[in-house]
Structure 1
Amino acid sequence: MTTAATSSRARIRDEGRVVAVVRAHPRLWALLAVVVGWVIVWSFTEGTHTLHIGTSTSTGVHDWLQDLSENLQDAFASPSDIVVRIISGLSDGLDSIFTWLQHLFTVAPFPRPFPQFGWLGIVALAALATFAIAGWRLVLLVVPAFLLFGFLGFWTESVDTLLITLFSVVFSCLVGIPLGIWMAHSKVVSAIVTPVLDVMQTMPSFVYLLPFSILFGIGPAAAIMVTLVYATPPVIRISAHGLRTVNPGVVEATSSLGQTAWQRLVKVELPLAKRTIIVGVNQTIMAALAMATIAAYIDGPGLGQPVIDGLQRNQFGTAAVAGICIVVLAITLDRTTTAASVRAEQARRAGNHGRRLRRIVLVAGSAGTLVALYLSHMYVWANEFPSSPDLGTPIRNAVDDFGDWLLTDLSGFTTSIQDGFTNWFLNPVQSLVAESPWFVTGLALLLIAMIVGGLRALVATFVCLAGIYLLDLWYNAMVTLTSVLVATVLVVAIAVVLGVAMGRNLTTDRVLRPFLDAGQTIPPFVPLIPVLILFGPNRFTAIIAGVIYAAPIATKLVADGIRGVSSETIEASRSTGANRWQEITKVQLPMARGSVLLATNQGLLYVLSMVVIGAMVGAGGLGFDIIWGFRQADFVGKGLAAGITIVLLGIMLDRITTYGAARAGESATLKAGRRPQRGPSTMLG
């Protein structure tokens, strides 16, 4: 055989392999082609037709939104309007209920010099409630946590935060869990509610602070309503996700036994989805606590006030100590709700002897709690928290010293890291997305949506991009989009690595979960300060802040999905000789695909919710427009336009990822030789 013939056959084999690779991953290669074409066009057109407008420039649509805001404010200033009277009644009712709770536990009702019940009664009541719903082990966590609030110097603020959190979470769950059940069983309801949830979760809190302060005034009522809006979506989405992922074989088996829909829901679906629903409740608690700082801007009571005051006065230590109280409260509530979810099973295992012992302890504890409440009502020593030991002052001083050390010894090194990342990666990506002509970027995004998610994603992307174009904030939207995408990629990478480790090992879960709770619940401004010291005010700092805030929930969801893979499936894979890496990549991650996709979606939405806070440290983009509109009355319209634009970005990215995930699932099913299931998607929509 000649050398030429051999070379020809080798070339044909190589070409055949290339064709096979292309055929195996057609969408991946199509995406690569779009990106390459985009880069080529950008290299010739950079900086032209970007639709960039100045900070102090308002367009016609911004003026229209400005007039709408002013007209709304004038309308709600009229006491004769029926809607105004209803909202005023609701506001007064919320204020009255919360004021009554404060008079019981934190604020002295005139003419009494102290609240009705003081620290001793509150600690005893918390211990009794914890034992009743979660068991004695959690009492060992709750009692020291409550005492720590006082030792750190924030007893009153911590109890106020607990009251407003429980008040908001109870209402969120009463509305959210039934709505999540309805969404899981109805595609129509899911299609209607999902965009509303997108708006609630992606609209920056600073945007709706203004309308809620107009509607409900300044104080507890407005703070409660803002918290409700922000905290309700997680429990709805995650409850619906949990019910959708219940094994359909089990549901069909129970249906064949003649159970009604209500019996099937109560006896089968809810018990099987309980663990995931509890994750949703926990995330609602975390979201409500995360709003403590933001709500302080409209005079919301609680720990948000000392955080804001400390930051405004450059007292990092004061803000950090108040943030520690929020974290401790978050960990306490998280562990209590988690333990409560398995309390019934533990009671069954304990048997009759355990139940009798528990009743005796409850009776004795109730009597002791009544005595403690009486003492705290009658005596100053049991009502006013003692001033010593004082743990807050040394921690405050240590944190201030730590901040000084970061600034003097580490900021030079970390700044070089930030410069390298920004110059070599972030700037080129932002230039490609924002500095390309608007129609080039728009066309590229439409093609990417079509390739990833198909026709439905294309339509959703077109509608959202059209809305962004009409709102006259295209350039700033693309700047924000760049930062959000970079932060989300980092969040997903962290979530998969840590979530797999937590899902596979209970000890790892116990070690990492307090840090995740801290990252999710500590006011975003507090970790932002050391990051700001290390990296300076810029987009990189804003991205890191978004990652710190969004990674915890994404990691928890991935861990929940990995843990949900049945032990029988794991044992079957091990019996075939699969090693640890194959077990993770071939079994656990594919079977936890729904949770990973949900984690990606939630991580994306949480990153978007940090856009405004990121703008406070130099991120620019839409977040700066919102802050500018919040601070300058003449630019409220532009701030509202920026808020709506962020919502459109969130919906666009959500639809692309959701439809892309569904399409990938159908492709995988077809490759496996099975017909694709057309049931509800495991994603949010």
Structure 2
Amino acid sequence: MADSWLSKFPKMDRADLLEIRKSLDGAFRDFSREYGDEIESFFSPLLDFLIWFEKLLVQSPWWAVLIVITAMVYLASRSWKLSLGVVVSFLLIGYFGMWEDTMRTLSIITVCTLLAIILGVPIGIFMARSDRTQSAVTPILDVMQTMPAFVYLIPVVMLLGIGKVPGVIAVVIYAIPPVIRLTNLGIRLVDKEVLEAATAYGANKMQRLLGVQLPLAAPTIMAGINQTIMMALGMVVIASMIGVKGLGQPVLKSITNQYFTLGLFNGLAIVALAIIFDRASQAYAKRSQKHLQDGHNV
């Protein structure tokens, strides 16, 4: 029964399939050889910024970095318990000799998150404003979220080799879909009556976007940023395969050499960063939402 059903479709010869694959591989190789230098020079400012930011975190006194991180977490969360947890976590990270790797990971995650926000929020805004754009971008996001993470490494390595920039590009591509989706969703969920009231007061499209839609959608957008950070941290170990230094490289080394404690401690350091980012961003989102609700009640 199955054979008769399959026989209705034209069979592709294995040689034809192999030829198609060879053609695609050859075209991509030719593209990388032709434009690889231009692409590399385009990303050179990003590489310079990454190197500068990493040196800033690694070479600064540990106590100064700890004070700044703790202050930022407290300003975001207004929680002294979370701030105390940050201090304890980073002191333990330093005690177990993982400070430099943690700072390198922190620099990569920070830059990747900023890039994801800069690129993702405008795309989400365009999707919210146009159903046609949403229908075109949504399948691309579906593919990006279901594609195995290792696959992202192949094209960036072929184009740019190994190093920081290919790792950042792979992490951003892997982690950007949530912030795009939730920016689109947050803006679409804004009450139409509120927008009509803003229009009645004479607000134009840009004023409605900046003064009404984005502030009301901020909690949803923050949830997307939170998910993006979590996905970026999850990509750190995979990105270490193409030369991204940080906590991922010791984990990779522990896998290949069966060093249980090395992998465990560095894995726990990644978990600590994830929890800190997660709690701080969630607390900030809740505070901003409460502030908006109090403003509406007034």
Q: TM-score, normalised by structure 1?
A: 0.39
Larger radius of gyration: 1
1:88 counterpart = 2:40: yes
Q: Cα 1:62–1:346, aligned 2, differ >3 Å: closer, same or farther?
A: same
Residue 223 (1) aligns with residue 167 (2): yes
1:184 alignment partner AA:
A
SS of 1:334 mapped into structure 2: helix
Judged with a 3 Å threshold, the aligned counterparts in structure 2 of structure 1 residues 160 and 50 are, in CA distance, closer, same or farther, namely farther
Shift of 1:58: 5.7
Alpha carbons of structure 1 residues 65 and 166: separation in structure 2 relative to 1, 3 Å? same
The aligned residue for residue 295 of structure 2 is none
Offset of 1:261 from its aligned partner? 2.1
Which whole-Å CA distance do the structure 2 matches of 1:178 and 1:141 have between them? 34
CA contact (8 A) 2:219 2:288 kept: no
Q: Is the 8 A contact 2:199 2:208 kept in 1?
A: yes
Q: 213, 227, 246: which one pairs with 1:269?
A: 213
Of the three residues 182, 190, 194, the one matched with 2:134 is: 190
Match of 1:68 among 21, 24, 31: 24
| Separation of aligned partners in 2, 1:341 and 1:181 | 19
Contact 1:168/1:224 (<8 A) preserved: yes
Q: Distance in 1 between matches of 2:15 and 2:83?
A: 58
CA shift digits 1:344-381 (9 cap, x unpaired) = 68899xxxxxxxxxxxxxxxxxxxxxxxxxxxxxxxxx
Q: Match of 1:300, SS?
A: coil
CA distance in 1 between partners of 2:6 and 2:95 (Å): 55
Give the SS at the match of 1:259: coil
1:172 aligns with 2:124: no
Please tell me whether residue 129 in structure 1 is matched to residue 72 in structure 2: yes
Q: Tell me the equivalent position of 1:8.
A: none
- Unmatched tracts of structure 2, length 5 or more: 8-12, 293-298
SS of 1:143's equivalent?
A: helix
Asked whether the 8 Å contact 2:152–2:174 carries over to 1, the reply is no
| 1:136 CA displacement | 5.3
Indicate conservation of the 8 Å contact 1:94/1:220, yes or no: no
Q: Do structure 1's residue 208 and structure 2's residue 208 form an aligned pair?
A: no
Q: How does 1:300-339 map to 2 (within 5 A)?
A: 300-339=244-283
Q: Equivalent residues in 2 for 1:249-648 (5 A)?
A: 249-342=193-286
Residues 36-90 of structure 1: CA distance to partner in whole angstroms, max 9, x if unpaired? Answer: xxxxxxxxx4688779xxxxx965234422342244324433xxx4x33321113
The 1:132–1:183 alpha-carbon spacing in structure 2 relative to 1, beyond 3 Å, is same
**Whole-Å separation in 2 of the counterparts to 1:290 and 1:200:** 15
Q: TM-score, normalised by structure 2?
A: 0.85
* Residues 18-53 of structure 1: per-residue CA shift (max 9 Å, x gap): xxxxxxxxxxxxxxxxxxxxxxxxxxx4688779xx
Aligned-residue Cα RMSD (Å) equals 2.7
Is 1:134–1:337's contact at 8 Å kept on the other side of the alignment?
Answer: yes
Aligned pair count? 287
Please report how far the alpha carbon of residue 133 of structure 1 lies from its aligned counterpart in structure 2 after TM superposition.
4.0
Q: What does the per-residue CA deviation read over 1:93-141, in whole Å, with 9 as the maximum and x for residues that have no partner?
A: 33322222232233xxxxxxxx3x1322211221233344443524223
Q: Is the 8 A contact 1:219 1:300 kept in 2?
A: yes
Task: Indicate the percent of aligned positions where both proteins have the same amino acid.
Answer: 35
Letter in 2 for 1:60: D
Residues 180, 238 of structure 1: 8 Å contact kept: yes
Matched, 1:139 2:83: yes
Tell me if the contact between 1:169 and 1:228 (Cα under 8 Å) persists in the aligned partners: yes
Match of 2:176, SS state, is helix
Is 1:145–1:332's contact at 8 Å kept on the other side of the alignment? no
Partner of 1:161: 105
| Residues 58 and 134 of structure 1, relative CA distance in 2, 3 Å threshold | farther
